């Protein structure tokens, strides 16, 4: 499952600014990108999912990724199991009984962030925003903006 690849993203985020491009105000995903953030195609490619998107402010160590998966097994438990399998620690968990939004904070190594995953009609739409140890406090407000794109 693609959520298993989130750990790989966390591992390569700091060195993924190669190929950064100016970010549009709104990406194809509908995510509002904070001013000054750039599109990070190398980071998006690490997901190995068609149409995945990634952005960031690499100078501050702020990153965000978005993807959508369609298929069976789209449950809150599957999302959490995928994170746990990659030794991503979660807290502040909000988990629906059925379809809905899974929300959590997460940590892996030097990276901390927040995740919102919408589960509906057999699909998972995930949006994660995270920071490295460089300036994590400065990433909080932009991450709140980014995560607000997933109702």
Mean pLDDT of 121-150: 91
Residues whose CB falls within 8 Å of the CB of residue 120, separated by 6 or more in sequence, listed in order: 99, 100
pLDDT above 90 (res 127)? yes
* C-alpha radius of gyration, the chain, whole number: 14
pTM for the model stands at 0.82
Query: Among residues of the chain, what percentage have pLDDT more than 90?
Result: 39
How far apart are the C-alpha atoms of 151 and 147, rounded to whole Å? 8
Right CATH for 2-22+32-147 from 3.30.870, 1.20.140, 3.40.1000, 1.20.58: 3.40.1000
The length of the chain in residues reads: 151
Residue 104 has pLDDT above 90, yes or no: yes
Rounded mean pLDDT, 125-144: 93
Sheet of 123-131: strands edge to edge?
21-22, 38-39, 53-57, 62-70, 123-131, 111-120, 100-108, 89-94
* Bridge partners for 120 per DSSP: 123
For 29, residues 6+ apart whose C-beta sits below 8 A from its C-beta are 51, 53, 66, 68, 149
Tokens of 78: 């599957």
pLDDT higher than 60, residue 39: yes
Q: What's the start-to-end Cα distance of the chain, in Å?
A: 23
Report pLDDT for 58.
93
Please give the mean pLDDT across all residues of the chain. Answer: 81
pLDDT of residue 86: 83
Predicted pLDDT of residue 47: 82
What pLDDT band is residue 11 in, cutting at 50, 70 and 90?
Answer: very low
């Amino acid at each position: 499952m693609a959520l298993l690849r989130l750990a790989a993203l966390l591992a390569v985020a700091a060195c993924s600014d190669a190929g950064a491009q100016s970010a549009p105000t709104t990406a194809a995903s509908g995510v509002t990108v904070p001013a000054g953030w750039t599109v990070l195609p190398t980071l998006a490619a690490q997901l190995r999912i068609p149409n995945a998107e990634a952005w960031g402010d690499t100078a501050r160590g702020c990153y965000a990724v978005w993807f959508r998966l369609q298929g069976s097994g789209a449950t809150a438990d599957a999302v959490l199991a995928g994170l746990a399998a990659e030794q991503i620690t979660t807290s502040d968990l909000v988990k629906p009984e059925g379809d809905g939004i899974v929300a959590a904070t997460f940590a892996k190594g030097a990276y901390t962030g927040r995740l919102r995953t919408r589960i509906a009609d057999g699909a998972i739409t995930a949006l994660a925003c995270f920071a490295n140890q460089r300036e994590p406090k400065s990433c909080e407000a932009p991450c709140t903006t980014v995560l607000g794109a997933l109702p």
